[in-house]
Amino acid sequence: MLYVTVLIVLALSCSGVDMFIRSTPPERKASRNLIKKWGQWYTFSDVNHDEVISDDDFEQFDHNFYERLGNVNDGQLNTIKRRFYRIWKEVILNYQKEISKDDFIEMMAQRYDLDQKAFTEMIREFTKALCKVIDVNGDNFISEEESMTDLAAAGHNKMTENKKFFMTFQPKNGVIPVEKIITEFARSVTEKFETKPDLFEKAYTDL
Ligand SMILES: [Ca+2]
Ligand SMILES: [Ca+2]
C-alpha cells in the first residue's frame, strides 16, 4: 500500500499537475481598488472623450490651456510644458502612439508589481510636473482660477462642478498647496487599500 502511495505521489509530482502549478503566473499585487483608480485616472486623462488616449489628448489640453492664458509665448512656460509632455508621454502612453483603457491598466499593474516604491516615485514626479503647468504664477499653490483653467482645458466646462472639484481639496485662504495635490494623487493611485477617503475619487464624481 505504501509503495502504491509513493508511486502515486511520484507520478503526480512529475505530471501535469505540478507543471500547472509551476506555470501559473504569480499573483498580481495590484488590488481591485487600484485597478478602479487607474480606470478613473484613464477616463479623466481622455480629454477629447473618444475612449482612447493618444497625443491628441495632450494637444487638446495644451491648446485649450494656453488659449485660456492668452497664448503667451514665454520661454519658461514652454520649458515647463515640454517637461510635462516628456513625462506624460512616458507615464501615460509608455511612448506608444495610443493606449486603450485595458492596456493602460495592465501597464500600470506591471509597473506596480515590478517595484511599488519606484511606481509611487513615478506618480509623484508626474503630478509634480503637471502641477508646474497648472500653477501658472509659480507660487506652489493652486488657486481656484488656476484649477478652473486646468479643468476647462481638460474638457470639463461646467463651472459649478469644477468649483466643487476644487472645494473637495479643502482650500485654505482660497488655495491648495501643490504638495497636498501630489500627496493626495499619489495616495489615490498607489495605495493598495484606502487608508482614508480618496479626495480625487470624490472630486472626479463631482465632474
Ligand atoms: Ca482621447
Ligand atoms: Ca499658483
Q: Which residue has the cell 499593474?
A: 109
- Measured CA to CA, the distance from residue 7 to residue 138 in angstroms comes to 74
Q: What pLDDT does residue 39 have?
A: 96
Q: Which ligand is nearest to the Cα of residue 155, counting in written order?
A: 1
Distance 185 CA to ligand 1 centre (A): 21
Mean pLDDT of 189-198: 93
Q: What pLDDT does residue 205 have?
A: 86
pLDDT over 80 (residue 26): no
Q: What pLDDT does residue 12 have?
A: 47
Q: What pLDDT does residue 10 have?
A: 46
Q: How many residues does the chain have?
A: 207
User: Is residue 184 domain-resident?
Assistant: yes
Q: Which residue has the cell 486603450?
A: 100
User: Is residue 9 domain-resident?
Assistant: no
Distance 91 CA to ligand 2 centre (A): 24
Distance 176 CA to ligand 1 centre (A): 28
Work out how many domains the chain is built from and give that number. Answer: 1
User: Is residue 151 domain-resident?
Assistant: yes
Instruction: Work out the pLDDT band at 180, boundaries 50, 70, 90.
Output: very high
Q: Which domain holds residue 166?
A: 30-206
Distance 129 CA to ligand 1 centre (A): 21
pLDDT over 50 (residue 91): yes
pLDDT over 60 (residue 89): yes
Burial class (CB in 10 A: 0-12, 13-18, 19+), 19: exposed
Distance 172 CA to ligand 1 centre (A): 34
pLDDT over 70 (residue 7): no
Instruction: Work out the pLDDT band at 62, boundaries 50, 70, 90.
Output: very high
User: Is residue 94 domain-resident?
Assistant: yes
Instruction: Work out the pLDDT band at 22, boundaries 50, 70, 90.
Output: low
CB within 8 A of 157, min separation 6: which ones?
none
Distance 177 CA to ligand 2 centre (A): 9
Q: Which residue has the cell 469644477?
A: 162
Lowest-confidence pick of 45-54, 153-162, 164-173, 175-184? 153-162
Q: What pLDDT does residue 14 have?
A: 46
CATH code, domain carrying 145: 1.10.238.10
User: Is residue 182 domain-resident?
Assistant: yes
Q: Which ligand is nearest to the Cα of residue 45, counting in written order?
A: 1
Distance 55 CA to ligand 1 centre (A): 8
- Measured CA to CA, the distance from residue 207 to residue 118 in angstroms comes to 30
Q: What pLDDT does residue 85 have?
A: 96
129 in Cβ contact with 84 (< 8 Å): yes
Distance 188 CA to ligand 2 centre (A): 22
Distance 99 CA to ligand 1 centre (A): 9
Joined grid coordinates for residue 83: 517637461
Distance 181 CA to ligand 2 centre (A): 12
Q: Which ligand is nearest to the Cα of residue 144, counting in written order?
A: 2
